[in-house]
Chains A and B, each alone.
Chain A
Amino acid sequence: MSALKNTKLLSSGSEWTFELLATYDREIARIAKDKFRLDTYPNQIEVIRSDQMMDAYASVGMPVSYNHWSYGKSFLSTEKNYNRGNMGLAYEIVINSDPCIAYLMEENNMTMQALVIAHACYGHNSFFKGNYLFREWTNAEAIIDYLVFSRDYIAKCEERHGVEAVESMLDSCHALMNYGVDRYKRPSPISANEEKQRLAAREEYIERHISDLWRTIPETEQSQTSVPLNFPVDPQENLLYFIEKNAPNLENWQREIVRIVRKMAQYFYPQRQTQVMNEGWATFWHYTLLNEMHSEGLVDDGFIMEFLASHTSVVAQPEFDSPSYSGINPYALGFAMMRDIRRVCENPTEEDKRWLPDIAGGDWLATLHYAMKNFRDESFMMQFLSPTVIREFKFFCLDDDDQQENIEVTAIHDEMGYQKVREQLSQQYNLSHQEPNIQVYNVNLQGDRSITLRHYQNNRKPLNKSTQEVLKHVHRLWGYDVSMESIREGQVIETLSCKED
């Protein structure tokens, strides 16, 4: 190695220091911005110990969160698994906020820290800033404020109404958390300040205006005749929103808690829809950025070998018959697809030109940015999954139908199967297929105020065993009888209910 090249090395050896972190960050940022046009929020890198990492785990990575036993539970199980060596901690946690907060663990050596900086501070960070779902659904500037607001608000409620009352409220809301999002309507982003100001006004307003729905005083003659057949007129998919606005007996603070949980669900919703893309994007960039550093001579061969070893284990994909198989590794699939997009742009084959005519031979960087900004997992698969990647993963589709004796292989990684695999995989990442489609169907306004939920079955898939338990939570929130009808092909095939004891 020439003397000149040696002088460019940022460091040697595995120890990290704060100066080195800053140096690496500066170099990675330079490459990321100048060479690859990654647009990020400012970074806030926090160095923490492993036990602090466990704390962060317990509160779903949030730096601030209200208290709840379930976080204690997840802390205990993380602690146990970690102490027994059953699991390693993630190298990093990164929070979609402005500035973007990333945690580095002090145990990691310099190579790992560089990997994490590239992965989290430039990969995930630019994804948070660029992807349309995050832009529309979350407000990175306000999230920390909102977390502080919600923690303080809930602590105040605990003082006023007792820990247990608040806890049971949160239990019930958490049970419905996945049904606290408007899937199709774009919600307004959250902001703690506005929230606080609105809170006072809202409380006062609600005090004064008892919902007209529950008016028992007889109204004038003419209005009595026009009783709506159904309330809500159209089924509502956002259960928590419906409860927050319409539950007859909730007190204001309880409505506010429903709202807080709903807002948290909304904040996490984009992450759940972009897992493969987000991890793939971040992995692609740590791989690209660090290799770029190596070719610039900033890091030595030892560094890059060690990095590749970690990288390889991150993107490992066990096959279906391996004991360690637990589905598709989003890092592996995402990384493979991102890399494949670059390949298709740079060296398209005849096949690529047929399957991905829009991007074959294009500008790879622009294409990747476009893909990152405008898709989520489901549509990303549909648009960009190429036969090359399908062959690489040896994907195959199974049709597991309980009305058939056998499980059928419906498609494999061959010419006939590419389209089918692509569609199936896309559906597999469609949240509305993964989760039961449950909506508020009707409230009996005139009678016992009972609420009816409807589960529209998808492919005859039934609800799981904890449904009855969840209905108890709905009952607690709604205050009156709850029933759940399962609908298959327009027919009610099963009704569960939870009535007053």
Chain B
Amino acid sequence: MAYIIDRRLNSKNKSTVNRQRFLKRYKKQIQKSVSDAVNQRGITDMERGDSITIPKQDISEPVFGHGQGGKRDIVHVGNKEFLAGDQIPRPEGGSSGNGAGDASDSGEGMDDFVFQISQSEFLEFMFEDLELPHMVKRQLLDSDSFRYKRAGFSQAGSPNKLNIVRSLKSAHARKIALGGKKRRRRRELKAQLLAFVDPLSEEQQSQKRAIEAEIMVLTRKINAIPFIDDYDLRYNLSVKVPQPSPKAVMFCVMDVSGSMTQEIKDTAKRFFFLLYLFLQRQYEKIEVVFICHHTVATEVTEEDFFYSRETGGTVVSSALKLTQEIIEARYPSNEWNIYVAQASDGDNWQADISKCHNIMQQLLPLVQYFTYVEMGGREVQSLWHLYQDLQRDFSHCFAMSQVKNNADIYPVFRELFKRKTTT
């Protein structure tokens, strides 16, 4: 009678294209919603998906319809005490309160349109148009790891790379090329042989013998063409292509001197975390090194890094020095992509500045990217001026910015990693 079809195994996500189109169309609004979310969220749940809110009127599909006003006759259900001719005072908020059906359908409500996006989409929007500067350049310059890539065929190679199909093909071609003429001649001679019909004259017999002799010679020659020759051998050719190192290390450097309040540290943590998420999208494996410093720098655990509180002065060079030492000891710069994020309130011991300058001159060539954020929102201090000088010389791998509060973090982060048009 009826056909019953099981469609449950059909691919789902028939709406994927339409969904993508929607996301693309409202990219701006979604990005805004994402950036609001990033600013409000705790650090630990930074990367989950989110519900996105877009004002309904932004995405409405307008159609002609009736607005409020005029005279309308409406039939309702469930009369209790009304009698014909009753006068009912108009409810507050115009006529729409009464025509419940009309009001809710007219689409003039100002509610927001809310929907879910997945974690990966969230990150996609979060890091859209951002890039890690100069990744490519570094990879090609001093990449030590390689991977082999097929690159056609060659006539020389090691036996394990022998391509049998190709080799036999070229052997076949060679055999045709070398033997073709002889074979054609042999075919002709064989045809001539058929023309001899018994009885044969002397002359004909000697002719026949001559032909038969020639055929034998030709056959021998044809058979002598080697089945396969060195010349035929083909090898799969692989070429080495530099492989960007999949490993990255991220140094979080933070001032923990007395002037850094917990609040400032929280802001710093957000910055570090954003960078971590961003790096995670580019690299398979990331190690994180935490270095905190006051007058001396130490490598600490994450827990200590964010929550321990020290007092004392500030010597930035100690942290930079330690970073450099750790890089040299554990993360050779030709194997590792090195990122340094430094957060500080800008305090530094005046006499330390020139030392910082020297260390930075050595450190910056080793790293992929160095970002410095200054927090606390105070007047810029000596460290800032020093770094400004450095930025001029190392603009390709050094970026700095000031952050006042949590809400600044994401915009500043975007600013630091904004995709630059190649110049």
A contacts, CB < 8 Å to B: 18, 21-22, 25-26, 29, 42-49, 51-52, 54-55, 58-59, 67-73, 75-77, 79-80, 83, 99, 103, 106, 117, 121, 163, 167, 171, 174-179, 317-322, 325-328, 393-403, 405-414, 416-417, 421, 424-425, 427-428, 434-436, 438, 457-467, 469-470, 473
Contacts and interface: CB of A to CB of B under 8 A. Distances in A.
Given A400-B98, A408-B86, A428-B74, A436 B66 contact: yes
B98 A174 contact: no
A42 B2 CA distance: 6
A79 B14 CA distance: 13
Given A26-B1, A408-B87, A328 B77 contact: yes
A321 to B, nearest CB: 7
Nearest to A104: B4
A400 B21 contact: no
A49, A179, A402 interface centre (most CB from chain B within 10 Å):
A402
Nearest to B113: A77
Nearest to A19: B4
A466 B62 CA distance: 5
Given A72-B19, A406-B90, A461 B66 contact: yes
A400 B100 CA distance: 13
Contacts of A58: 15, 18
B2 A408 contact: no
Given A461-B66, A466-B65, A394 B101 contact: no
Interface of B: 1-8, 10, 12-15, 17-25, 51, 59-80, 82-90, 95, 98-102, 104, 106-108, 113-116
Contacts, number: 286
Given A25-B4, A55-B12, A436-B64, A320 B115 contact: no
Given A69-B22, A73-B59, A121-B2, A411 B84 contact: yes
A176 B61 CA distance: 10
A325 B74 CA distance: 14
A411 B85 CA distance: 7
Contact of A67 (B7, B21, B65, B107): B21
B85 A408 contact: yes
A316 to B, nearest CB: 11
A45 B78 contact: no
Given A18-B4, A67-B18, A409-B83, A396 B76 contact: yes
A47 B78 contact: no
Contact of B75 (A29, A77, A421): A421
Contacts of B65: 435-436, 463-464, 466
Contacts of B4: 18, 21-22, 25, 45-47
A462 B64 CA distance: 11
Given A25-B4, A75-B22, A407-B87, 12 more contacts: A25-B1, A51-B13, A52-B8, A70-B18, A70-B22, A76-B22, A320-B76, A325-B77, A328-B101, A398-B76, A406-B87, A435-B66
Given A42-B2, A321-B78, A424 B19 contact: no
